[in-house]
Chains A and B, each alone.
Chain A
Amino acid sequence: MIRNPAAKRYNRRVILLAALYAALLIPAIYGFTHQLVPHWAAYPIAVLPALPIVGIFAAIGRYMVEEQDEYLRMLLVRQTLWASGFALSIATAWGFLEAFDLVGHIDAYYISVLWFGGLGFGACMNKLTVGSAVACA
């Protein structure tokens, strides 16, 4: 498949953000595990690894805007809607299970993990319902 310029820019951004995520997460884990983080810096250091993930959400939005091929854009919109429905449905169901003490606690950032997994689910749904899918994430 010939990758168009918008898809290439998207890939470059995601690779850069993924590298930044690793570069921020590893020192944060090390710092907190070894109690090296001063109290005043705890909140900013804890939030830093989230920023590249937020950046990936923004990169997907940017790709949606920059993609000139309307059909591929439609596939991407459908895929992200499936991902949102997938992640939010599981998170909501889990929230009630957790509230009634039927399951253990799961950190909220796993909703993002679910959403990225949902992109794969969305690609499958596109393939099943429209016959083709765009690679994303």
Chain B
Amino acid sequence: MMENRLRVLRAERNWSQGDLAERLEVSRQSVNAIETGKYDPSLPLAFRIAELFDLSIEQVFVSPSRDTSQTA
């Protein structure tokens, strides 16, 4: 599963998981699953998430092939 900065980005804006879910038009369960790394979003949803924060996908999600925390 991919690491991501969703929780941090959400906290910076003082959004609850429900707030983020509403903005992304997904369930709160989805946001929670993505945040906790239990579910990798599809590319279209990953783009929507990144665009919501005005960031690129790589600034939100850590590429599994470059994730040093998983190889250490």
Contact = CB atoms under 8 A, between A and B. Distances in A.
Interface in A90-137: 130-132
Which of A68, A74, A132 has most B Cβ within 10 Å?
Answer: A132
Interface in B38-72: 38-39, 41-42, 45
Q: A interface, how many residues as a size bin?
A: 10 to 19
Contacts of B27: 2, 4, 69, 71-72
B38 to A, nearest CB: 5
Contact of B39 (A2, A4, A130): A130
A131 B35 CA distance: 13
A26 B38 CA distance: 46
Interface in A35-92: 68-72, 74
A70 B21 CA distance: 13
Contacts of A74: 39
A130 B38 contact: yes
Contacts of A1: 29
B25 interface: yes
A131 B26 contact: no
A132 B29 contact: yes
Contacts of A68: 25
Contacts of B25: 68
B35 to A, nearest CB: 11
B42 A72 contact: no
Contacts of A69: 26-27, 30
Which of B25, B26, B27, B42 has most A Cβ within 10 Å?
Answer: B27
A1 B45 CA distance: 21
Contacts of B9: none
Given A4-B27, A70-B41, A71-B41, 6 more contacts: A1-B29, A2-B27, A71-B30, A71-B34, A130-B39, A132-B33
